[in-house]
Amino acid sequence: MVDLSSILITRTLFSLITSQDSSSTENIIDMDTFRQILDLDEDDDHEFSLEMVEAYYSQAGQTFIDMDEALEKKDLEKLSDLGHFLKGSSAALGVSKVRNSCEKIQNYGALRDNESKPLTEEVALERITKLMGQVKSEYKAAETWLKKYYGKEGD
């Protein structure tokens, strides 16, 4: 039997959180995608979606380490692959700004700009170097929002 009061409380809480943060989530979290993830939860404690988000934190953290190493080695192919990987993980959860920045890293690593025009290695490395700080900042903003949503701000 479905506990309607739990569903109402969860939806009300979700509405409050998203309405309070609508301007800050506008481009950080794609709410349509995130709601689809929440729909996969079987209970009101969001165990499944929380596990997905925590796995994302771990993946992203390691991917940023790998990206820093690849950037230091000027390994554009590896940077492109890592950008592609993190783009997919970010898209799956609706972490849209990180997804967009990782798509640029993927393209630049493949020596293409955003319109598929060719880039030199030097220009590609310059652009990726600038993007690394940005994408980490975007990730931090998304992580903060997600932790707030799940009530894990102190973690």
Q: Domain residues for 117?
A: 27-39+46-149
Computed on alpha carbons and rounded to an integer, the radius of gyration of the chain in Å comes to: 18
The answer to the question of residue 95 being in a domain is: yes
Closest to 63 measured CA to CA, from 52, 79, 51: 79
The answer to the question of residue 123 being in a domain is: yes
Indicate the residue type of 31: M
The answer to the question of residue 63 being in a domain is: yes
- Torsion, CA 23, CA 29, CA 31, CA 33, rounded to 10: 170
What CATH number has the domain bearing residue 88? 1.20.120.160
Question: Is residue 11 over pLDDT 50?
Answer: no
The answer to the question of residue 18 being in a domain is: no
In tens, the pLDDT along 85-137 reads 999 999 999 999 999 999 999 999 999 998 889 999 999 999 999 999 999 99
The answer to the question of residue 90 being in a domain is: yes
The answer to the question of residue 16 being in a domain is: no
In tens, the pLDDT along 27-76 reads 799 999 999 999 999 877 899 999 999 999 999 999 999 999 999 999 99
Collapsed DSSP state (helix, strand, coil) of residue 110:
coil
What's the token pair of residue 108? 């630049």
Collapsed DSSP state (helix, strand, coil) of residue 56:
helix
What domain count does the chain have? 1
